[in-house]
């Protein structure tokens, strides 16, 4: 049922599905909906400021741009025409037809149009991702689940054998802003112990990555949104599912993840894990030494964290277990299904609503905020430092991310770079502290 | 309560075209008769903008306006002004789910309006319609009236739906209609007050406003950076000067029709000559004395260069004047749409360059790639997506926003952009080596092969 959202996070399911499809090299997204649906997602997911024209950062998005007559009389024939001409204008690969709210409401027979193309030997698949089905993360979940469960039907070139292949699920391109960097660093870590990451998205992924999904020894699930795709693949192809505690931030989290994968796959040698962990710990030691002066000046902080479930919980875990800070509030803006992780912070809320988020931050009594840049005004009003981990624009995908010891180092740099107002002794503050 | 007529689309009101490729003289012929030009449609298209995004972009410029999008959550995210943090805080969405698409959600709209009002206390609220509520025929008008009475402040409806028009600028008209419905005309006409209607802010806009002030006039800048109070003041102004006719023409003409504020008849003040013309006409209209001159002598820094210009239509025609004054041959214009308001600058351009190509299409990158490849200009200047398309073809290009070239200094900004584009051509050479985004077959085809006359 509808609920008012003010100053909210995220796009809709269509936007998430679109961003996900567009992040797979060789996939052409075709949005079957009215104009505007696709571009709202394409622009907003990168913080673009200009309204005019096409999004420069994405590969072309085919769209039926339905008119009033299609709403009245149906848009199936328009879709047929668009599929045919998309195959002519854009490079051939996999065409993913994503349906929006209007076409779901008017009842276009999209599967029939897609079947027509498939029977002619074309690689086309349809995914229902109407915006009213939920968040952008839900759109990722729906699209990747369809691809995982139907990968054998997609007319893709067969994948070559890759021993120790691990599918990575749960990182949502663009909506988890550091997605490309995080996938890259996870790939590097897995390679360090003899595994091969199958990232699907970004420069390391592509159609061959999709085709290889059933050949993996395991599917690594890094956020709740990766669970359904991994389970779909497990049901269809028997690939084991390994559920991790979000992004592995810092050396300890890397160790836990590698041992989980070693146990699940039996394909990792202990010596390889120890060698990699030694290197990760040395890097983290270096980062802690470099920032220790600033950290000690900053003191122990009570932090309010606002972010997606991929990142926010892992950040809280690192801050508490490695820095000894206190997570006073955790706001999960992607509203994941299932029970909330109540062990991570004093107050845990799942909401996409900006007003509820601000209220949770205020109520937490935090003296440090880790959140999107949009909360800068609130941090200034509360007089607390803000380390911005979201709303960073498209460049965040190149930022290096937060995975591993290197990610922890970037986090430490961000925390200690944040200007802190000097703590002044005042009688009122002393009295309040009693 | 009498039902208001549907807002006219740009196609119906002005014969707007959103898909067309032809030489200038043939496009002039489209608008020559009394009949509206015949509509053309695409049989292949890339994702396009809609009226909802355009309306959100315009309304997001008014700093104390609360915006409620009545639709699924994705309808309320958007490009442009709506992306800025301060604006995000005053946008709400009813977040309709599947059940609401069947049963309607009038109650949700009322709740959302009241919640946003409680949260940010805006001066007024605007409801924007989405495709879902348009298809579902949700009642908006009654809810808006009811909530306005309850909270005691203006609540109006921007009549967007996402599909009746293929010209996104129709949304700017819907936004203008909503803003005009907020205006409360009180007091007397202010003979020394001039409205400066702009979608952009920046130093060049400030300088132009300062130039108007030298005429002894006070300047009311809106909607960019304005508050609702500026809307009320706008109704009392002596005249309106429009910097962004493609976005704000309906607001200007609405102020004229509803409140008797005349619109200054002048092209966008881009460069010294056009700026002097605008200031002179404004002085004449308001009974001031002026000694404005197009002082700087033209420098032909584009001599023998073949150039393509891209951007909002009125801006592109004005920039073409500037480019030709600098010695360029304008071989093409790529415009988001064209309508009857552009007839005069189009005809003037066609007289000078009858064979120059006019490409009409917003966000259609495949058309841009094909057209630019065929024209093979020395330089492309203007809109970001056209600049990116040019660079990917190895053509030097410079982004130039309208806000950069307003006023006397516009010529210098243009010259600098051109100079930088040629000096920085290494980026174009590098990008030309990247993988092709469109099939070789498409790039060999006629660039308007997929554009057909609509059969009624």
How confident is the model over B175-192, as a mean pLDDT?
A: 94
What integer pLDDT is reported at residue A123 of this predicted model? 95
- What single-letter DSSP state applies at residue B17? B
Chain B residues whose CB is inside 8 A of the A102 CB are 131-132, 135, 162-163
Tokens coding B164: 């009746």
Chain B residues whose CB is inside 8 A of the A40 CB are 53, 74-75, 77-79
| Residues B75, A40: C-beta atoms closer than 8 Å | yes
| Cα–Cα distance measured from residue A195 to residue A192, given in angstroms and rounded to the nearest whole number | 7
Residues with Cβ within 8 Å of A246's Cβ and at least 6 positions away in sequence, in order, are A222, A223, A309, A310, A311, A312, A313, A314, A317
Please compute Rg for chain A using Cα positions. Answer: 23
A78 has a pLDDT exceeding 70: yes
| Residues B50, A35: C-beta atoms closer than 8 Å | yes
The answer to whether A374 touches B85, Cβ cutoff 8 Å, is yes
| Residues B437, A10: C-beta atoms closer than 8 Å | no
In what order do the strands lie in the sheet containing A27-32?
Answer: A62-63, A27-32, A94-99, A124-128
User: Tell me: the pLDDT tens digits for B245-290?
Assistant: 999 999 999 999 999 999 999 999 999 999 999 999 999 999 998 8
Strand B40-42 to B451-453 pairing: antiparallel
| Cα–Cα distance measured from residue A390 to residue A178, given in angstroms and rounded to the nearest whole number | 9
- The nearest alpha carbon in chain A to B450 belongs to A85
A433 has a pLDDT exceeding 60: no
Query: Of all residues in chain B, what percent carry a pLDDT higher than 90?
Result: 86
Query: CA B275 from chain center: how many Å?
Result: 20
Chain B residues whose CB is inside 8 A of the A51 CB are 49, 53-54, 57, 78-81
- The nearest alpha carbon in chain B to A357 belongs to B89
Considering CB atoms only, which of B79, B111, B450 is closest to A4? B111
What integer pLDDT is reported at residue A423 of this predicted model? 44
Chain A residues whose CB is inside 8 A of the B99 CB are 1
Residues with Cβ within 8 Å of B241's Cβ and at least 6 positions away in sequence, in order, are B194, B195, B196, B197, B212, B264, B266, B269, B278, B282
- The nearest alpha carbon in chain B to A70 belongs to B163
For an interface test with A, give the residue of B73, B387, B446 to mutate (most A CBs within 10 A): B73
pLDDT band with cut points at 50, 70 and 90 for residue B7:
confident
Tokens coding A99: 């349906």
**What predicted TM-score, i.e. pTM, was given to this entire model?**
0.94
Report DSSP letters for A265-300, one per residue: HS---HHHHHHHHHHHHHHHHHHHHHHHHHHHHH-S
| Cα–Cα distance measured from residue B205 to residue B359, given in angstroms and rounded to the nearest whole number | 28
How confident is the model over B391-403, as a mean pLDDT?
A: 96
Report DSSP letters for A30-52, one per residue: EEES-TTHHHHHHHHTTT----S
Query: Of all residues in chain B, what percent carry a pLDDT higher than 70?
Result: 95
Tokens coding A149: 């469960």
Strand B306-310 to B329-335 pairing: parallel
CA-closest candidate to residue B55, choices B170, B145, B150 = B170
Distance of residue B345 Cα from the nearest chain A Cα, in angstroms: 21
| Cα–Cα distance measured from residue A144 to residue A308, given in angstroms and rounded to the nearest whole number | 18
Task: Write the CATH number of the domain with boundaries A13-153.
Answer: 3.40.50.1980
User: Tell me: the pLDDT tens digits for A262-273?
Assistant: 999 998 999 999
What integer pLDDT is reported at residue A320 of this predicted model? 96
**What superfamily does domain B306-453 belong to in CATH?**
Nitrogenase molybdenum iron protein domain (3.40.50.1980)
Element (H, E) at A98: strand A94-99
Q: Specify the higher pLDDT residue, A3 or B70.
A: B70
| Residues B44, A47: C-beta atoms closer than 8 Å | no
| Residues B441, A88: C-beta atoms closer than 8 Å | yes
Distance of residue B2 Cα from the nearest chain A Cα, in angstroms: 25
What integer pLDDT is reported at residue B34 of this predicted model? 84
Residues with Cβ within 8 Å of B41's Cβ and at least 6 positions away in sequence, in order, are A67, B19, B166, B451, B452, B454
Dihedral pair phi/psi, residue B395, rounded to 5° = -95, 125
What integer pLDDT is reported at residue A54 of this predicted model? 82
| Residues A86, B44: C-beta atoms closer than 8 Å | yes
| Cα–Cα distance measured from residue B440 to residue B432, given in angstroms and rounded to the nearest whole number | 14
Chain B residues whose CB is inside 8 A of the A14 CB are 74
Domain boundaries, chain A: 13-153, 165-274
User: Tell me: the pLDDT tens digits for B334-355?
Assistant: 999 999 999 999 999 999 999 9
User: Tell me: the pLDDT tens digits for B24-62?
Assistant: 999 999 999 888 898 899 999 999 999 999 999 999 999
Residue-averaged pLDDT of chain B: 93
CB atoms within 10 A of CB B92: 30
Q: Can you state the percent helix, strand and coil of chain B, rounding each to 5?
A: 45, 15, 40
| Residues A132, B101: C-beta atoms closer than 8 Å | yes
A425 has a pLDDT exceeding 50: no
| Cα–Cα distance measured from residue A371 to residue A308, given in angstroms and rounded to the nearest whole number | 10
For an interface test with A, give the residue of B11, B47, B448 to mutate (most A CBs within 10 A): B47
User: Tell me: the pLDDT tens digits for A36-71?
Assistant: 999 988 876 655 555 577 888 888 999 999 999 999
What integer pLDDT is reported at residue B294 of this predicted model? 56
Chain B residues whose CB is inside 8 A of the A67 CB are 41, 163-164, 166
Domain boundaries, chain B: 49-165, 193-286, 306-453
- The nearest alpha carbon in chain B to A69 belongs to B164
Residues with Cβ within 8 Å of B86's Cβ and at least 6 positions away in sequence, in order, are A377, B63
How confident is the model over A163-173, as a mean pLDDT?
A: 96
- The nearest alpha carbon in chain B to A11 belongs to B74
Chain A residues whose CB is inside 8 A of the B50 CB are 34-37, 39
- The nearest alpha carbon in chain B to A359 belongs to B119
| Residues counted in chain A | 434
pLDDT band with cut points at 50, 70 and 90 for residue A10:
confident
CATH 3.90.280.10 describes domain A165-274: no
User: Tell me: the pLDDT tens digits for A375-388?
Assistant: 999 999 999 999 99
Considering CB atoms only, which of A7, A36, A355 is closest to B49? A36
What integer pLDDT is reported at residue A58 of this predicted model? 84
Angle at the Cα of B29 from the Cα atoms of B26 and B33, rounded to 5 degrees = 165
B1 has a pLDDT exceeding 50: no
Place of tokens 């260069």: B305
User: Tell me: the pLDDT tens digits for B120-176?
Assistant: 999 999 999 999 999 998 889 999 999 999 999 999 999 999 999 999 999 999 999
Element (H, E) at A218: strand A218-221
Distance of residue A48 Cα from the nearest chain B Cα, in angstroms: 6
Residue-averaged pLDDT of chain A: 92
Angle at the Cα of B360 from the Cα atoms of B355 and B365, rounded to 5 degrees = 115
Chain A residues whose CB is inside 8 A of the B111 CB are 4
Task: Write the CATH number of the domain with boundaries B49-165.
Answer: 3.40.50.1980
Domain B193-286 identical in fold to domain B306-453: yes
Residue B179 burial by Cβ neighbours in a 10 Å radius (0-12, 13-18, 19+): buried
Distance of residue A393 Cα from the nearest chain B Cα, in angstroms: 10
- The nearest alpha carbon in chain A to B455 belongs to A69
| Residues A43, B386: C-beta atoms closer than 8 Å | no
B82 has a pLDDT exceeding 60: no
| Cα–Cα distance measured from residue A309 to residue A223, given in angstroms and rounded to the nearest whole number | 6
| Residues A101, B131: C-beta atoms closer than 8 Å | yes
A333 has a pLDDT exceeding 90: yes
**What superfamily does domain B193-286 belong to in CATH?**
Nitrogenase molybdenum iron protein domain (3.40.50.1980)
B308: β partners: B332, B380
Chain B residues whose CB is inside 8 A of the A62 CB are 44-47
Domain A13-153 identical in fold to domain A165-274: yes
Angle at the Cα of B337 from the Cα atoms of B332 and B339, rounded to 5 degrees = 105
The answer to whether A75 touches A32, Cβ cutoff 8 Å, is yes
pLDDT band with cut points at 50, 70 and 90 for residue A346:
confident
């Amino acid at each position: 049922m509808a609920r008012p959202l003010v100053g909210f996070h995220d796009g809709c399911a269509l936007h998430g599905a679109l961003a996900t499809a567009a992040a797979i090299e060789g996939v052409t997204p075709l949005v079957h909906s009215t104009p505007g649906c696709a571009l709202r997602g394409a622009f907003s997911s990168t913080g673009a400021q200009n309204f005019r024209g096409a999004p420069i950062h994405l590969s072309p998005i085919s769209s039926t741009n339905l008119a009033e007559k299609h709403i009245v009389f149906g848009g199936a024939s328009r879709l047929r025409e668009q599929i045919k001409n998309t195959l002519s204008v854009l490079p051939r690969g996999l065409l993913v037809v994503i349906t929006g709210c209007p076409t779901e409401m008017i009842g276009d027979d999209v599967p029939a149009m897609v079947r027509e193309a498939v029977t002619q030997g074309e690689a086309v698949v349809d995914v229902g991702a109407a915006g009213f089905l939920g968040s952008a993360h839900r759109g990722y979940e729906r699209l990747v689940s369809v691809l995982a469960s139907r990968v054998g039907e997609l007319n893709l070139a067969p994948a070559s054998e890759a021993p120790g292949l691990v599918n990575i699920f749960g990182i949502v391109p663009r909506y988890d802003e550091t997605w490309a960097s995080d996938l890259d660093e996870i790939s590097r870590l897995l390679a360090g112990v003899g595994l091969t990451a199958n990232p699907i998205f970004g420069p390391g992924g592509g159609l061959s990555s999709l085709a290889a999904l059933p050949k993996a020894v395991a599917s690594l699930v890094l956020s709740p949104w990766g669970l359904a795709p991994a389970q779909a693949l497990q049901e269809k192809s028997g690939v084991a599912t390994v559920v991790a505690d979000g992004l592995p931030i810092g050396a300890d989290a890397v160790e836990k993840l590698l041992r989980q994968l070693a146990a699940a796959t039996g394909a990792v040698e202990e010596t390889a894990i120890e060698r990699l962990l030694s290197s990760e710990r040395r890097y983290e030691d270096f980062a802690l030494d470099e920032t220790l002066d600033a950290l000690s000046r900053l003191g122990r902080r009570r932090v309010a964290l606002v972010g997606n479930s991929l990142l926010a919980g892992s950040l809280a875990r690192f801050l508490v277990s490695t820095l000894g800070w206190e997570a006073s509030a955790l706001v999960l803006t992607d509203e994941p299904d299932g029970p909330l992780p109540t062990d991570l912070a004093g107050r845990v809320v799942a909401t996409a609503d900006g007003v509820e988020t601000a209220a949770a931050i205020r109520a937490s009594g935090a003296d440090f905020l880790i959140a999107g840049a949009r909360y800068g005004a609130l941090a200034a009003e509360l007089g607390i430092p803000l380390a911005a981990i979201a709303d960073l624009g498209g460049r965040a995908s190149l930022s290096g991310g937060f995975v591993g010891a290197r990610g922890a180092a970037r986090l430490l740099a961000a925390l200690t770079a944040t200007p802190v107002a000097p703590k002044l002794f005042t009688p009122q503050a002393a009295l309040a502290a009693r | 309560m009498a039902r208001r007529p549907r807002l006219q689309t740009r196609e119906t009101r002005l014969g707007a075209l959103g898909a067309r490729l032809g030489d200038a003289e043939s496009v002039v012929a489209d608008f020559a008769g009394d009949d509206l030009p015949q509509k053309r449609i695409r049989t292949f298209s890339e994702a396009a903008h809609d009226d909802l995004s355009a309306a959100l972009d315009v309304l997001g410029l008014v700093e104390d306006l609360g915006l409620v999008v009545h639709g699924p959550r994705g309808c309320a995210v958007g490009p442009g002004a709506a992306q800025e943090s301060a604006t995000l805080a005053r946008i709400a969405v009813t977040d309709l789910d599947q059940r609401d698409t069947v049963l309607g959600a009038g109650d949700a709209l009322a709740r959302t309006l009241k919640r946003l009002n409680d949260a940010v206390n805006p001066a007024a609220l605007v409801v924007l319609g989405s495709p879902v509520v348009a298809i579902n025929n949700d009642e908006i008008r009654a809810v808006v009236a009811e909530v306005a009475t309850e909270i005691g402040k203006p609540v109006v409806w921007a009549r967007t739906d996402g599909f009746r028009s293929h010209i996104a600028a129709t949304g700017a008209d819907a936004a203008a209609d909503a803003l005009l419905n907020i205006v409360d005309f009180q007091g007397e006409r202010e003979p020394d007050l001039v409205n400066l209607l702009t979608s952009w802010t920046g130093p060049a806009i400030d300088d132009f406003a300062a130039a108007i002030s030298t005429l002894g006039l006070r300047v009311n800048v809106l909607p960019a950076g304005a508050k609702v109070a500026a809307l009320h003041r706008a109704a009392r102004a002596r005249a309106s000067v429009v910097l962004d006719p493609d976005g704000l023409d309906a607001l200007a003409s609405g102020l004229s029709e509803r409140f008797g504020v005349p619109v200054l008849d002048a092209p966008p003040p881009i460069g010294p000559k056009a700026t002097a013309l605008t200031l002179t006409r404004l002085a004449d209209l308001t009974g001031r004395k002026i000694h404005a001159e197009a002082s700087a002598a033209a420098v032909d820094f584009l001599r023998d260069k073949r150039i393509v210009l891209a951007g909002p239509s009125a801006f592109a025609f004005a920039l073409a004047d500037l480019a030709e004054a600098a010695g360029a041959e304008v071989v093409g214009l790529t415009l988001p749409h064209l309508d009857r308001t552009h007839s005069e600058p189009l005809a003037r351009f066609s007289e000078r360059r009858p064979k120059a190509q006019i490409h009409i299409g917003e966000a259609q990158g495949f058309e841009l790639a094909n057209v630019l490849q065929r024209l093979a200009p020395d330089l492309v200047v203007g809109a970001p997506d056209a600049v990116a398309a040019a660079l990917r073809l190895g053509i030097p290009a410079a982004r130039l926003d309208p806000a950069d070239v307003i006023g006397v200094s516009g010529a210098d900004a243009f010259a600098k952009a051109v100079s930088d584009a040629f000096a920085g051509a290494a980026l174009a050479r590098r990008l030309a080596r990247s993988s092709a985004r469109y099939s070789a077959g498409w790039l060999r085809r006629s660039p308007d092969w997929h554009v057909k006359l609509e059969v009624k």
